Amino acid sequence: MNAARKVAIVTGASQGIGKAVALRLAADGFAVVVNYASNAAEADNVARDISSAGGMALAIQADVSKQADVTRLFEETARQLGGVDVVVNNAGIMELKPIADAADELFDRTIAINVRGTFNMMRAGMKVIRGGGRIINVSSSVLGLALPTYGVYIASKAAVEALTRAAANELRGRNISVNAVAPGPIGTALFLKGKTQEDIQNFAKRAPLERLGTPADIAGVISFLVGEEGGWINGQVIRANGGLV
């Protein structure tokens, strides 16, 4: 381990936005922990790709909704890489139902992963992240659209944004910033699931840039926020959505 190399944990990094963020931060010089809940093969592939490109990466399993798993994740990171400088809270689910039809199980599962998972990672990270570090939470620009069937998901991401602002204030004096990135429609499996081609095209045309975002678009924003030039941004929600809202 190079003592000068900063360490980033990226949750939900086996695919989609999380994978793109892990690859980008590794290219930026971070040692990256590729966190995953269940997809070990994909997470190992991401870590292997980083290592093959000359970077440093570990794939570590942890269900962020479980405090014990999160504690183990941070302990294992510190043991193998020496500490933590950046936490990117990307792990999340998006299950869509009208509020009137949403079962308790859907609500509980969404809150457990999207809110409690982010809370667990922030709580652990705020205790150990080194000075000059960053916490980045992933929200969603759908908060500004308030689309039907997205109600429970929107509620979970609204909580994430509230936690972001509160944590930024609580970390006063430690030179650690906390921000959120709120993507618009991104062409990932999470977004595309259950949508027709017409649905996808309609979403793509909503923004003035007239396309879906890519995981790399979001990785670029996060790269900026955790880099030296993003150090003066704190307690903010960056809506990376091509002008959608």
Q: How large is the C-alpha radius of gyration of the chain?
A: 17
Cα–Cα dist 79/200, whole Å: 44
To the query of whether residue 150 is one of the catalytic residues in this protein, the response is no
Among the options 30, 119, 153, 203, which is catalytic?
A: 153
Tell me how far the alpha carbon of residue 54 is from its chain's centroid.
24
CB 32 within 8 A of CB 219: no
Task: Please name the residue that has the structure tokens 């870590």.
Answer: 47
- Spatial separation of the C-alpha atoms in residues 57 and 32, rounded to whole Å: 5
CA distance 154 to 78: 33
Q: Please give the Cα distance from 63 to 117 (Å, whole number).
A: 8
Question: Cα separation of 22 and 126, whole Å?
Answer: 20
| Residues sharing a CB contact under 8 Å with residue 193, sequence separation 6 or more, in sequence order | none
Residues tagged active-site: 153
